[in-house]
Amino acid sequence: MVVYRITGKKHSNDLAGTGAAMYGGRWNKKGTPVLYTGESKEIALLETIVHTPPMLVPETDILTLEIPDNSIKEIKISDLPKNWTDYPAPTILSEIAEAWVQKDETVALKVPSCIIHSASNYILNCRHQHYSQVKLIEIKDFHFDSRLRK
């Protein structure tokens, strides 16, 4: 399966989940390295926009990654608490993902996007025993249109 990640140029080659481990996020606790990706370029862009400070037009790259089709666990909206879309994210979400990381059963966790519920993000477990099967297919310049920051 192909997934996408939009990130600042200086972090394009870091597939180790360093940033997520440093700060934590909706689907990971601080200290747990994961890589956030989207099922489409469009959802990857929307996820980037909501995490980019206003008026900043960053220099970005778009990464195309291939993840093993047979190593994905899916969490459906019906499996989540009613407040799963809240910001800041409810702690239960990082606890769900932390349990998934600890079980080490799959490389990827498919989760619904809280921006567009019909879209999915894929959280990659950078510590998984088969994480080396994740392939970086391409890194390209990504034009971040300044009108998106109005």
Q: Could you report the per-residue pLDDT of 3-14, keeping only the tens digit for each?
A: 999 999 999 999
Q: Could you report the per-residue pLDDT of 24-54, keeping only the tens digit for each?
A: 999 999 999 999 999 999 999 999 988 887 7
* pLDDT > 70? residue 55: no
pLDDT of residue 96: 98
pLDDT of residue 150: 61
* pLDDT > 70? residue 126: yes
User: Residues of the chain with pLDDT > 90: what percent?
Assistant: 87
Model confidence, pTM:
0.95
Contacts of residue 14, Cβ cutoff 8 Å, sequence gap at least 6: none
- How far apart are alpha carbons 43 and 74 in whole angstroms? 17
- Does residue 102 come out as left (phi exceeding 0), alpha (psi in the -120 to 50 range) or beta? alpha
Which one is predicted more confidently, 59 or 95? Answer: 95
Average model confidence (pLDDT) across the chain: 95
Q: Could you report the per-residue pLDDT of 90-102, keeping only the tens digit for each?
A: 999 999 999 999 9
Domains of the chain by range and CATH?
2-149 (3.90.175)
